Chains A and B, each alone.
Chain A
Amino acid sequence: MNDISQAFAKAIQLITQLDANLLEIVSLSMRVSLTSVLIASLIGLPLGAALALYKFPGRGFFVVLLNAFMGLPPVVVGLIVYLMLSRSGPLGVLGLLFTPTAMIIAQTCLITPIIAALARQTIMDANVEYHEQLRALGAKSFRIMKTLLWETKYSLLTSVFAGFGRATAEVGAVLIVGGNINHATRVMTTAIALETRKGDIELALALGIILIVISLILTTIVMNIRDAAYKYYN
């Protein structure tokens, strides 16, 4: 227990001093994860909705694939993205390896299936409820998709959160494609892994506490906005 209380003290010390290194790492973490979540949502939400509403050959297989990919191991995603972006890989000419962009690509691959699979379920359930009504009003499939996405926005927010949680928590993918380079690609999770390796358990745990607190604050803000919006619309 002593270790943990020391870590708390260290965490508070780091926060109150506004440690420049810490700020840099935190802001890169947020920048990478938020951008990934945004891109993954733009792809995943319509994809999930389309899979819920449109019938096409191979849909069943695609849905199984999507659900299985929710559990993609970050290290494997990291390796595949590494092989793509490596100078000897097909996209090597872009020179993206060991940059935040590479980390965003890896995290987007990792969380798009999560957001899409959860969105598909949400939209499917909503469709059961509203389908007759929407058809009766003469709505076309695309119109139904848009309506359902809008009507389930609060539930879909939870899918987006699941994706964000995965993005901020994973270390395997960003370590491989980012390289944990100080002042360039070091984020919270890779810094925690590094300090653990160096045997500085106290600092590692302090960084972990800060990461959790940031997630809590962000979640609280979004939940409050959601509740306010809910009250406003109803």
Chain B
Amino acid sequence: MNRISTIVIAVLICMSFNSACANEQDFITLSSTTSTDNSGLLDYLIPKFKEKTGINVRVVAVGTGRALLLGERGDVDLLLVHHKTSETKFVENGFGIERRNVMYNDYVIVGPKQDPANIKNVKNTIEALKLIYDQATPFVSRGDDSGTHKKELELWSQAGVDIQQYSGTWYREAGASMGATLNIANEMSAYTLTDRGTWLSFKNRDDLILLFENDPPLFNQYGVILVNPERHPHIKYNEAKLFSNWLTSSEGQQAIAEFSLQGQQLFFPNSGQNIAASEAK
């Protein structure tokens, strides 16, 4: 009997321990991409929002593809992602509502400092990718259905390269997050496409340097979407809407503009067009 009571007591202690650490009530869950989370932007924005509203934002950082799936299944309250084509489709399918532009940043191409494909001085992105293709120099792809991966595939297709057929040779699909992909590119002395934020906050660079930037096709728009409460009634729609409103308000936009890493502004607020559109109504 003694043993049994010991076990029962142990279970009770454990359970009370778990309930003592009970979750706070006022929070929403946001699925976002690794680029916004790993750069520290959300850690910078969320305390400001919490201070104003008392609502905490819990961030699940995944690729855009999985972030959209979490939204579709009703596992999160809202999304902050960056692949407009997928986002529009998500809203059209009735999974999400009220998509708004929040900010943009850009992609850059990084690679080994020896630059074997010699892309440093090309005029545009397509030309850079063609050179990498011509030389068959190693290129690491995210390969994980993230926004960055989708973007990269679009760029290859614009360059007229059927990239899938080179998979496993010089074209390597990592199936990994941006940071992990940069680690691989570093070890393999390979090129890769990355968002500027992750690149600037990435610490394990060794011989990797930024080789190509500032070209319109590398533009990267971020949007916020609320999960459709009609499909998922448990969604904290009102609280999520407050965050969406705040991100696109002048206060939120200013906070985004203020965020910098190593003296560089990483994200450029551009919700202005949304506000103009809603005022017109």
Contact = CB atoms under 8 A, between A and B. Distances in A.
Given A38-B11, A197-B180, A98 B75 contact: yes
Contacts of A181: 29, 58-60
A122 interface: no
Contact of B74 (A87, A99, A100): A87
A97 B179 contact: no
A34 B14 contact: yes
B270 interface: no
B179 A199 contact: yes
A180 B59 CA distance: 8
A150 B73 CA distance: 47
A199 B203 CA distance: 5
Interface string B237-260: 000000000000000000000000
Interface stretch (B16-24, B121-129, B150-158, B162-170): B16-24
Contact of B75 (A38, A97, A182, A197): A97
Interface in A12-67: 31, 34-35, 38, 42
A184 B180 CA distance: 23
Contacts of B176: 197
B43 interface: yes
A196 interface: yes
A73 interface: no
Interface in B14-63: 14, 17-18, 21, 23, 29, 34, 38, 43, 58-61
A213 to B, nearest CB: 22
Interface residues of A, number: 31
B113 interface: no
B232 interface: yes
A133 interface: no
A104 B21 CA distance: 14
Contacts of B38: 194, 197-198
Contact of B73 (A34, A88, A95, A184): A88
Interface string B73-112: 1110000000000000000000000000000000000000
A200 B60 contact: no
A164 to B, nearest CB: 14
Given A34-B14, A38-B10, A87-B74, A197 B60 contact: no
A38 B7 CA distance: 9
A197 B234 CA distance: 33
B132 interface: no
A71 interface: no
Contact of A180 (B61, B73, B182): B61
A101 interface: yes
Given A86-B75, A88-B74, A197 B11 contact: no
B67 to A, nearest CB: 11
A194 B198 CA distance: 13
B25 to A, nearest CB: 12
Report the 4 A-B pairs with minimum CB-CB distance, sorted nearest first.
A199-B204, A197-B179, A87-B74, A179-B60
